[in-house]
């Protein structure tokens, strides 16, 4: 794609999303429309630093009008980065329809709120869509059913969209266990109350080996700018052979 990249990014307020937003602005010189239900101080600081390149939509991505507002600010995106997500751990036998609705509204249906209205621009720009997925899509750890199922559904959308839209590159990427607020909640009371002790201990012990969001975030950002069309329809981990060429040069 010629010219400056124009990216709509959901879930930009913290964690991997904030890292992606920073990298897009400061390392790739992209224009970004950042969406989040909680506009963090860090995101506000980025706006002050990059007033011409960063626009912020403060809104709920489960509401279609939030994505439509972003598309009014940037009607011709060259990439979507569908990063927003929620993780609520509940064993199936203890779950409720409200729990499943919350997880699927954020992790699955909200993807479509942003993706569908952007299709004409993405077709014209031969753009890219990067889905922040998870290895949970293929896992079976207890209490994770809603999250696992939602990420499997996300992968299904990504690969089906790749088939339906041959001019748009559609990629689902697992960022690994990054050191974010979501993972901190899993390591804390939420995980301890929902998971079996051995499963919870796995996350507690993983703290020392967690991934820096700036490392996996760079790969996701680079894929949104430069991802090869041959990757369309694939799901892979950020440091896999597919992702390795997009890592930051040492």
Give residue-wise pLDDT tens across range 156-215: 999 999 999 999 999 999 999 998 988 888 989 899 999 999 999 999 998 888 999 999
Nearest to 13 by CA among 213, 198, 149: 213
Q: What is the CATH number of the domain that holds 128?
A: 3.40.50.720
In a domain, 1, yes or no: no
Give residue-wise pLDDT tens across range 24-75: 999 999 999 999 999 999 999 999 999 999 999 999 999 999 999 999 999 9
Tell how many helices (H) and how many strands (E) occur in the chain: 10, 7
- Residue 88's pLDDT is 93
Per cent of the chain over pLDDT 90 is 91
In a domain, 249, yes or no: no
Could you list the residue range(s) of the whole structural domain that residue 113 is in? 6-176+213-239
In a domain, 143, yes or no: yes
In a domain, 204, yes or no: no
Domain count, the chain: 1
Residues designated catalytic: 133, 147, 151
- Alpha helices for the chain (secondary structure H): 15-26, 41-49, 64-73, 97-104, 110-125, 145-164, 181-187, 189-194, 197-205, 213-226
In a domain, 23, yes or no: yes
In a domain, 184, yes or no: no
CA distance 21 to 33: 9
Give residue-wise pLDDT tens across range 239-248: 999 999 999 9
In a domain, 72, yes or no: yes
Mean pLDDT of the chain: 96
In a domain, 84, yes or no: yes
């Amino acid at each position: 794609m010629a010219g400056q990249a124009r990216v709509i990014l959901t879930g930009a307020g913290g964690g991997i999303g904030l890292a992606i937003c920073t990298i897009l602005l400061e390392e790739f010189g992209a224009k970004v429309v950042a969406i989040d239900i909680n506009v963090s101080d860090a995101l506000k600081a980025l706006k002050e630093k990059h007033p011409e390149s960063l626009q912020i939509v403060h809104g709920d991505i489960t509401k279609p009008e939030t994505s439509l507002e972003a598309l009014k600010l940037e009607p011709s995106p060259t990439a979507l980065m569908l990063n927003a997500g929620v993780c609520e751990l509940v064993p199936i036998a203890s779950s409720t329809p409200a729990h499943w609705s919350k997880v699927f509204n954020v992790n699955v249906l909200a993807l479509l709120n942003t993706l569908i209205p952007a299709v004409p621009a993405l077709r014209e720009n031969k753009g890219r869509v990067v889905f922040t997925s998870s290895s949970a899509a293929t896992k079976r750890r207890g209490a994770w059913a809603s999250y696992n199922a939602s990420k499997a559904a996300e992968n299904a959308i990504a690969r089906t969209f790749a088939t339906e839209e041959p001019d748009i590159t559609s990629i689902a990427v697992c960022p690994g266990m990054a050191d974010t607020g979501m993972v901190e909640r899993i390591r804390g009371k939420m995980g301890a109350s929902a998971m079996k002790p051995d499963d919870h201990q796995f996350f507690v012990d993983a703290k020392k080996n967690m991934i820096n969001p700036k490392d996996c975030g760079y790969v996701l950002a680079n894929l949104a700018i430069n991802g090869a069309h041959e990757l369309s329809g694939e799901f892979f981990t950020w440091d896999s052979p597919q992702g390795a060429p997009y890592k930051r040069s040492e």
